[in-house]
Structure 1
Amino acid sequence: MHAVDQSGEQDLLSRVAAGDEAAFTQLFHHYYPLLSTHIFRITRSAEDTEEIVQDVFFKIWMSRESLTGIAAFRPYLWVIARNRALNALQKMARERSNRAAYTQSFAETESPDHLPQLYSLIDEAIRQLPPQQQQVYRLGRQERLRQAEIAERMGLTVATVKKYMQLAVLSVSAYIRDKHLVSLPLVLLLCMRR
């Protein structure tokens, strides 16, 4: 795709702001390769890069009305993408740290004999979920699909998949916690590992 000059870009942004999907597609294809390279330098992960870039463009589409007020789109796009990438890296670091802490805590306090009972309880909790939440949870946690892949497979938006996953994890955690068998952190750890 050929370059978009400043005046052409402003026209393109105005069309996107008005809800023109063809203009959004053009904007996406113009910036996708550059933005992917920029984000990959931060994340060093092709999968994380893909998810972040999709999230960025999803955010742009959802707040498209504000595009008419942006004088320099490229710096705006880079800042949004950089912030998303840094947030993703911080989240991954927190998850690794939490996982390590919970694994250590589990090793010190729990017997491996309890695992079959706990996994059975998690399966029971999953069966209690509404059908779409259940499917999102299984695709994400058990088949290890990314949110964009789940959204495509199920015909949902990425935002809906995120919401269903959050609700499913909370429901599974609450179900197990209500059984008074394990602590919430351990439940979250086991939900992530399955």
Structure 2
Amino acid sequence: MSAFQNSAHFEQVFKDNWELMYQSAYCKIGNQSVVEDMLQEIFIDIWQRRESLEIKSGIKGYLLTAVKYQVMKYFDELTKTRSGSANTFPESFYEEDVFGFEELYKEIEIAVEMLPPRAQLVFRMSRLEGYSVDEIADKLNISPQTVHNQLTKSLKIMRGELKHLAPVLAVYFVA
């Protein structure tokens, strides 16, 4: 089954995630137009592969990983342009970039595991899989207000557990 049910779902995923993706890339690159081009490339690629694309983890993790690789690709191309050869950045630069995103995702997963089971499910569906409140309510056969209540409690817990990552996760945990 495709990761995107239809164009409206794809558009919602874009709206829900572009700002976090933008901030993640911008803090590394610092150039608005380059970052906007990167995000456009990512979403064009996803749209072109939408029929066969299967995202097994969570959509946010997938998108942040895509940003990570685009940032690395950008620096590789920049290096080639300036020096005529690849990989003039120290290997530790790439390790820090890769581990930064992987560690971020691991810390989020650890914090999610601290939530009660039902709250975990609602949180994952909302923040990691991109479902709307109404879609979650329908799928779990609960009221939209219950979904809102679960998300509010979960976000409060998550903010507390991940407060040391506040600048990076500010958009991720907005109610």
Q: Is the TM value for this pair above 0.5?
A: no
Higher helix share: 1
> What TM-score, normalized by structure 1, do the two folds share?
0.41
> What TM-score, normalized by structure 2, do the two folds share?
0.45
Higher RCO structure (Cα 8 Å, ≥6 apart): 2
